[in-house]
Structure 1
Amino acid sequence: MTKQATPRKTVSFSAEAFEAINETEIRWLGNSGILLNSRGTCIMVDPVLEGFDLPLLIDMPIKTEEVPKLDGILMTHSDNDHFSLDTLKNLLPVTESFHAPKYVAELYSEKFHTDAIGHDIHTTFEIEEIKILLTPANHLWQNETSKFNRVFQLEDYCGFWIETPDGTLWIPGDSRLMEEHLQMPEPNAILFDFSDNEWHIGFDNAVKLANTYPKADLLLSHWGTVDAPNMNVFNGNPADLFDKVVNPDRIKELAAGERYILRKN
Structure 2
Amino acid sequence: MEIKRSKSGQAMPKEVIVVNKDAFLPIHKTEIRWLGSASIMINSRGTTLMIDPLLEGFDMPLLFEMPILPQAVPHLDAVLITHIDNDHFSRPTCKDLLSVCEAYHAPYYVAEVMKEENIKGTGHAIHDSFKVKDIQVTLTPARHNWQNGSSKYQFREWKEEDYCGYWLDTADGTIWLPGDSKLMEEHLKMPEPDVILFDFSDNDWHITLDGAVLLANTYPNADLICIHWGSVDAPDMSPFNGDPESLIDKVIHPERIRVLAPGEAFTLTKKQVKK
1:13 deviates by: 1.4
CA deviations 1:229-253 (Å, max 9, x no partner) are: 0001101110010000000000000
How many Å separate the matches in 1 of 2:110 and 2:188?
26
Cross-structure match for 2:183 = 177
1:84 aligns with 2:80: no
Q: Is 1:2–1:230's contact at 8 Å kept on the other side of the alignment?
A: no
TM-score (norm 1): 0.98
1:144 aligns with 2:185: no
Cross-structure match for 1:123 = 128
Cross-structure match for 2:138 = 133
1:262 aligns with 2:251: no
Cross-structure match for 1:194 = 200
Deviation beyond 4 Å, 4+ runs, structure 1: none
SS in structure 2 of the partner of residue 162 of structure 1: strand
How many Å separate the matches in 1 of 2:97 and 2:132?
17
1:234 aligns with 2:233: no
SS in structure 2 of the partner of residue 147 of structure 1: helix
1:24 aligns with 2:33: no
Correspondent of 1:245 among 248, 251, 261? 251
TM-score (norm 2): 0.95
The letter of the residue matching 2:86 is N
Correspondent of 2:53 among 37, 47, 55? 47
SS in structure 1 of the partner of residue 130 of structure 2: strand
Q: Is 2:95–2:117's contact at 8 Å kept on the other side of the alignment?
A: no
Correspondent of 2:213 among 207, 223, 243? 207
1:133 deviates by: 0.5
The letter of the residue matching 1:115 is K
SS in structure 1 of the partner of residue 169 of structure 2: strand
CA deviations 1:30-72 (Å, max 9, x no partner) are: 0111110000000000000001111111220011100000000
Count residues with an aligned counterpart: 264
The letter of the residue matching 2:73 is V
How many Å separate the matches in 2 of 1:116 and 1:222?
24
SS in structure 2 of the partner of residue 256 of structure 1: coil
List alignment gaps of at least 5 residues for structure 1. Answer: none
How many Å separate the matches in 2 of 1:74 and 1:109?
15
1:14 aligns with 2:20: yes
How many Å separate the matches in 1 of 2:19 and 2:103?
23
How many Å separate the matches in 2 of 1:91 and 1:109?
15
How many Å separate the matches in 2 of 1:77 and 1:199?
13
1:144 deviates by: 0.4
Q: Is 1:8–1:254's contact at 8 Å kept on the other side of the alignment?
A: no
How many Å separate the matches in 2 of 1:84 and 1:32?
11
How many Å separate the matches in 1 of 2:120 and 2:87?
22
How many Å separate the matches in 2 of 1:69 and 1:2?
37
Q: Is 2:39–2:54's contact at 8 Å kept on the other side of the alignment?
A: yes
How many Å separate the matches in 2 of 1:55 and 1:115?
29
Q: Is 1:160–1:171's contact at 8 Å kept on the other side of the alignment?
A: yes
Superposed, 1:105-120 pairs within 5 Å as 105-112=111-118, 114-120=119-125
List alignment gaps of at least 5 residues for structure 2. Answer: 1-6
Q: Name the % identity.
A: 57
How many Å separate the matches in 2 of 1:152 and 1:263?
37
How many Å separate the matches in 1 of 2:250 and 2:190?
21
